Amino acid sequence: MYGTPILLGSLLAGHTYAHTFIWGVFVNGVDQGLYKGVRTPAYNGAPNGGGYSNSPVKNLTSIDIRCNVMGDIQSPDTIKVKPGDNLTLDWHHDIRSDADDVIASSHHGPALVYISPDPPTENSFVKLWHEGLYESNPFPQPGKWTTTADIAKNHGHMNVRIPKDLKPGFYLIRAEMIAFHEGEVSWLDNPMRGTQFYPDCVQIEVTGDGTVELPEGVTFPGAYNYDDPGIVYDIYCSTDTKRTVTTPCTTTYPIPGPTVWSGAWAETAEVPLGPVTGGTTAPPWSTWIKNSVVTSATFTDKKSVTVVGTLTYQAKWSSTYATPAPATKRW
């Protein structure tokens, strides 16, 4: 398979995997609308056959680790922001609502946010924020992890600020949650397990008259390797989940990737959020990808599907910026 996509809706009967992706973005508390600016991945299989589009990426050498499956395809919308603006990335699983579970309660791990010029270049992703195991207790008392004890408990809200005096231009925000419930072994050694990465990218345009340029960063793929600290990790040492743990049992965790850029804000406080706009449920699916084949279809119900056409998909990241087409939906 060319990648492992993310969910575009709650239309799936039997959809039980509590995976996650970004459904919307608030700017200074004002919602920009359902999927606005978000590069939403496609289904990884026909929905009536069990496909879903909020899957993790496990292959660290795949281009999908950058912005997930079909991350090279632009959203028709770009969100305008100013230096200092607060972005609240709204992660969800089944529906864009505070009642949604956001991510499975077992999917403990860190959360990270990067920024890159759009389109990305070599070593262009700069880390703006990260948080991992922020409260550690002696086993078997549970610690607190950002994905489950912070973001999920706060209705899927992940906050980050646009760097002070950042130079105007087009950028990608690459946000990510990492889950370790199967991460005690490398995916290379056991493809049935392995750490789960949930990257998602948002298109922004920074306005104003700032002059600060991003420093050299890291490349995706390339920023993470299977033998890096914090990539393979036995998380059960820091939770109360019933499972045989490793010996010795560690309750510390090194967050992967580079350090946070010194030009990022030292603190990113939560801001009051206004109402969600543009809907809370996913639009009907029409496209899925499996084994690098993209299938387009129409449907009348979960059992009546008409295939319109298929094509082989290969990601093609541009080296020059192109204005997003207000065109067709990508699902």
pLDDT in tens, 37-53: 999 877 777 666 555 66
- Residue 163 confidence class, pLDDT cut points 50, 70, 90: very high
Lowest mean pLDDT segment, chosen from 1-15, 162-176, 209-223: 1-15
DSSP letters spanning 107-157: ----EEEEEEESS--TT-BEEEEEE-EEE--STTS--EEIIIIIITTTTTE
Q: Residues 182-199: pLDDT tens digits?
A: 998 999 999 999 999 999
Task: Please tell me the predicted confidence (pLDDT) of residue 326.
Answer: 79
Does the pLDDT of residue 7 top 50, yes or no? no
Q: What strands, in cross-sheet order, belong to the sheet with 21-27? A: 30-31, 21-27, 86-92, 157-161
Which of the four CATH numbers 3.10.20.600, 2.70.50.70, 2.40.110.10, 3.10.450.50 does domain 21-312 have?
2.70.50.70
Task: Please tell me the predicted confidence (pLDDT) of residue 12.
Answer: 27
Does the pLDDT of residue 210 top 90, yes or no? yes
Does the pLDDT of residue 22 top 70, yes or no? yes
Task: Please tell me the predicted confidence (pLDDT) of residue 113.
Answer: 98
Task: Please tell me the predicted confidence (pLDDT) of residue 290.
Answer: 79
Task: Please tell me the predicted confidence (pLDDT) of residue 62.
Answer: 93
**Cα dihedral 282, 285, 290, 294 sign:** negative
- Residue 11 confidence class, pLDDT cut points 50, 70, 90: very low
Does the pLDDT of residue 77 top 60, yes or no? yes
Question: Average pLDDT in the 119-139 region?
Answer: 92
Question: Average pLDDT in the 261-287 region?
Answer: 88
Task: Please tell me the predicted confidence (pLDDT) of residue 55.
Answer: 74
Segments making up each domain of the chain, as ranges: 21-312
The answer to whether the beta carbons of residues 237 and 139 sit under 8 Å apart is yes
Q: Residues 275-317: pLDDT tens digits?
A: 999 899 877 667 788 778 888 887 766 567 788 889 998 889 9
CB atoms within 10 A of CB 141: 12
The DSSP letter of residue 229 is T
